[in-house]
Structure 1
């Protein structure tokens, strides 16, 4: 595993997309959050913690695209055959990519969410709640899980375009479809199982009883999506030709 991590880290840090994708995660997450925090007049009726972390709505796409590129770039160039020839343990290769993608997104996500929170504290002042550990830490974990979901989807589809469409559809189209369902019971169930609706419940600090799913349980749903995608991706990698 040590050799696989070293090899994947060498490829990751020398990839053309890495120098801009991780800073982009920080900038998009914090930038949109600061704009949202500065645009309201307090006191306000909205959940100010979710408002201060609004940028995650855009940052999640950057995290997913970064993870897609970690594996999808090798499929698009044909380098994946060289990788598997050098390291025949395909599950180990995917595990190494997952560890590195998770670590990079965790670092960039922590920076972006940290700036968002500090900016929100400065702009919203006492209107921001004191209990911030769950929303802040949960938001970073959410970004990591979305990245792992993107990596797993790429392993399944073996295509950057296919994985991007699949993950972005789950993040942005699925909540819209769920909101259009007329039956309130089915609508609530769909919100409980779509990754974005379920996972971002971890940011909530008001009206928790009205949420479709409890905050940590919602993050657990995203974890199941990520684990499921990685398991299916591992099966595809080990059973099909590169």
Structure 2
């Protein structure tokens, strides 16, 4: 495993665009979060919105960049044929996938933590938000985990379908399709059900710090739903990478 981890880290850090994508994750998360915080007016009559969730709005854009990065981790090897060399050097295919998952988790955690921290620091100046409150810290930590799980979901999907373009489209469809359908439906029960099973809507429930009795799914349970999607994708990817020819 040590050799596989070193190889995957070397490939990731030397791949053109990796550094830019990680910086974009941070910039997108902080930028949209700052913009959302700046346009939220809490001066008159108090705030009626969840300030922690507002400050972390940028995660909804940052996740798209994380998905693209995760697709690149293995999709680039399939598109160039380098996957043959990777599996020749490390014949245990699940070890290769596990190493990619661990390296991806490490870099996404770093970028996500920086983006979330930057968003909260900005919100601390723009909003009456108690950033040291337990619920806010839970929302922040959950947002980091959310981005990591999105990356693992994308890695699993790409391993299964192999084609980077198709994988990116499928992952982004999974993330954004459920909320779009929810906006189009007029049935509140159906919309609530979509929020309970959709990877994005359920996962982002971890950001909620107010009105928890009215949300479709509780914060940690919602994140667990996203975790189940990611686990299923990795399981499918792991099974297919073992059974199919490279």
Return the TM-score normalized by structure 2.
0.95
Query: Is 1:156 the equivalent of 2:174?
Result: no
Alpha-carbon distance between aligned partners in 2 of 1:158 and 1:128, rounded to the nearest angstrom? 41
Which residue does 1:19 correspond to in 2? 19
Give, in angstroms, the shift of residue 129 of structure 1. 8.1
With normalisation by structure 1, the TM-score equals 0.96
Q: How far does residue 182 in structure 1 lie from its aligned partner after superposition?
A: 3.6
1:209 equivalent in structure 2: 213
Counting only pairs closer than 5 Å after superposition, residues 105-120 of structure 1 correspond to structure 2 as 105-120=108-123
**Structure 2 unaligned regions, length at least 5:** none
CA contact (8 A) 2:123 2:129 kept: no
Q: Which runs of 5+ in 1 are unaligned?
A: none
* Secondary structure, counterpart of 1:209 in structure 2: coil
Q: Which residue of 1 aligns with 2:60?
A: 57
Structure 1 residue 33 displacement after superposition: 0.3
Q: 1:198 aligns with which of 198, 202, 206?
A: 202
Q: Does 1:233 align with 2:237?
A: yes
Note the aligned Cα RMSD (angstroms): 1.3
Per-residue CA distance 1:66-115 (angstroms, 9 max, x = gap): 11100001111111111111111111000000000011000000000000
Residue 133 of structure 2: aligned partner: 130
- C-alpha change, 1:239 and 1:120, in structure 2 (3 Å) is same
Q: Which runs of 4+ in 1 moved over 6 A?
A: none
1:139 aligns with 2:143: yes
User: Are the aligned partners of 2:51 and 2:129 in contact in 1 as well (CA < 8 Å)?
Assistant: no
Contact 1:48 1:129 in 2 (8 A): no
Query: Match for residue 9 of structure 1?
Result: 9
Does 209-218 or 82-91 show the bigger shift?
82-91
Question: Do 1:135 and 1:202's aligned partners in 2 also have CA atoms closer than 8 Å?
Answer: yes
The 2-side partners of 1:113 and 1:150 are apart by 20
Residue 47 (structure 1) aligns with? 50
Q: Are the counterparts in 2 of residues 48 and 127 from structure 1 also a CA contact under 8 Å?
A: no
- Shift in Å, 1:125: 2.7
- Is residue 66 of structure 1 aligned with residue 69 of structure 2? yes
* Number of equivalent positions: 242
What is the alpha-carbon distance in structure 1 between the residues aligned to residue 20 and residue 141 of structure 2? 24
